[in-house]
Amino acid sequence: MKRLSKPWLFALLFVLVAGALIWIGTGQKPSEQGAGDTVNPIEQQQPEEKEPDTEGAPVEQEGNKIAIPQAIVTTFKGDPRTSRAFTWHTDTTGEKAVLQLVKGTDASAFEDKREILEFQGESSELVLHNGKIKGVHKAEAAGLEAGASYLYRVGNGSAEGWSELAAFTTEQDGLDAFTFIDVADSQGITEQDFELWRNTLEQAFKRFPESAFLIHNGDLTEYPEDDAAWNHLLNKARPWTASVPFMPVTGNHDQVDKKADAFVSHFNLPDNGASSTIPGTSYTFNYGPVHFVMLNTEAKIKEQVDWLEEDLAANRQPWTIVSIHRPAYGGNQDKKVVKHWVPLFDKYGVDLVLQGHNHEYSRSYPLKDEKIVETGGTVYATVNASGQKFNKKKDDQYYHKIHFQNKKQMYAGIRIAGDKLTYQAYTVDGELADEFELTHK
């Protein structure tokens, strides 16, 4: 065997010593990281991720997925005194839609089949943009007692497929005073975005715990095809909307390219809307002394006029409140809404129009025939966003009584009691940002 020359010997010793020093400094053997492995510096800078919002994810049992209800929503569909509607999704398809109720708040009543009211619903499918198919389930309880409390659960009827129990109360007969909450533009993408939405609702229901339902003036998520965002939206709201109906209108982020499949799949809403619109994107309902009209600003505005006039002409409720997404009188104006709908608001004495879209706060003077009036007229209020996005404040207009951009999530509590309507708009940090009253003489 050849002996190594001194230069080669020194070189070999240098390599061995250097390798040993590297191993000692890193605490890692060379074999622990493969020769082809690389470390992405961007990944190293990512913050620690929070536990994902996985409520309703399917559970594996003996190789099969159990259809756990997720994104559960309760709404009004029929008479709020005697009915309540529900929607939920599952990650499995082909499941039955079953709704069970017991009267009162004693969970043990579900152990007695004689106490259970069961309603069969309808199931369909929603095809997501990635080709995944979700189960969509809708059911409605009818023939209920006015002013009564019920516990409910939804699922496929199997012992493992039920949701957690939650409670609701039907509207009382002869109700003449109640409160509801108004929000707009939750419009998030990430789970953290919807933490802001959750906080908005938490502050709103702390301030107005007696609220009978929640109205949303549109733009619920950023991308309508984003199923994870819908789950975040509805699961974050679940502590309140498990019991309180969630009544939305479509915005330009909910109905895109003449489609609103995801929006419609998540809400079991009245089917009394304009025939020119996608079912569930325009509708009306009564609660107490108020008639609510929910309009679709995203398609066929002119085609909704005949239906709108027929509805308003037939209305006999003392108060009328409209919810729309694109504003008639907000930070800016939708010209089609002003041209086609505002004359009907004037003609039939609409009291209040709730708006979204601008991601800033504004309230108009009472308006009629596009003029400020001392008595009568309609007030147009645009609440600031309930989520993460705020826009630059637009120019002040003649019709603005108040107009600002505070870059804070906001909500409004609206109370109707007899001949008085009180509106209070708060920021999430507790500031009363606007307040006014309307009265009927």
The tens digit of pLDDT for each residue in 263-298 reads: 999 999 999 999 999 999 999 999 999 999 999 999
Q: In the chain, what is the straight-line distance between the N-terminal and C-terminal CA atoms, in Å?
A: 115
pLDDT at 36 over 70: no
β-pair type (410-417, 177-183): antiparallel
Instruction: Quote the pLDDT of residue 190.
Output: 96
**Cα separation of 281 and 264, whole Å?**
7
| CB 63, CB 79: distance < 8 Å | no
pLDDT in the model for residue 66: 65
Q: Is the pLDDT reported for residue 31 higher than 50?
A: no
Residue 55 has pLDDT above 80, yes or no: no
pLDDT in the model for residue 241: 95
26 pLDDT more than 60: no
Asked which of 13-22, 195-204, 223-232, 319-328 is least confident by mean pLDDT, the reply is 13-22
pLDDT of res. 67: 83
Range with the poorest average pLDDT among 11-25, 198-212, 245-259, 268-282? 11-25
Q: Does domain 177-439 have CATH number 3.60.21.10?
A: yes
- What is the residue extent of each domain of the chain? 59-169, 177-439
Two tokens, residue 338 = 């002003």
pLDDT in tens, 135-189: 999 999 999 999 999 999 999 999 999 999 999 999 999 999 999 999 999 999 9
Q: What is the pLDDT of residues 226-240, one digit of tens each?
A: 999 999 999 999 999
Give the residue-averaged pLDDT of 342-367. Answer: 98
Residue 321 CB contacts under 8 Å (≥ 6 apart), including other chains: 290, 291, 292, 293, 350, 351, 352, 353, 354, 414
393-426 confidence digits (pLDDT tens): 999 999 999 999 999 999 999 999 999 999 999 9
Res 40: pLDDT = 30
Confidence class for position 23, pLDDT limits 50, 70, 90? very low
Report residue 42's pLDDT band, with 50, 70 and 90 as the boundaries. very low
How far apart (Å, rounded) are the C-alpha atoms in residues 330 and 184?
13
Q: Cβ distance 295 to 323 under 8 Å?
A: yes
Name the one residue in this structure whose structure tokens are 């009543």: 109
* CB of 385 closer than 8 Å to CB of 361: no
Q: What is the mean pLDDT of residues 194-204?
A: 98
Question: What's the pLDDT at 53?
Answer: 52
Inform me whether the pLDDT recorded for 24 exceeds 60: no
Spatial contact of 110 and 116, defined as CB atoms under 8 Å apart: yes
Residue range 59-169, CATH number: 2.60.40.380
pLDDT (mean) for 356-384: 97
Given this model, what pLDDT does residue 441 score? 75
* The predicted structure's pLDDT at residue 65: 63
pTM: 0.85
Whole-number average pLDDT of the chain: 88
% of the chain beyond a pLDDT of 70: 85
Q: Which helix (H) or strand (E) holds 265?
A: helix 261-266
**Torsion sign (Cα): 175, 177, 179, 182:** positive
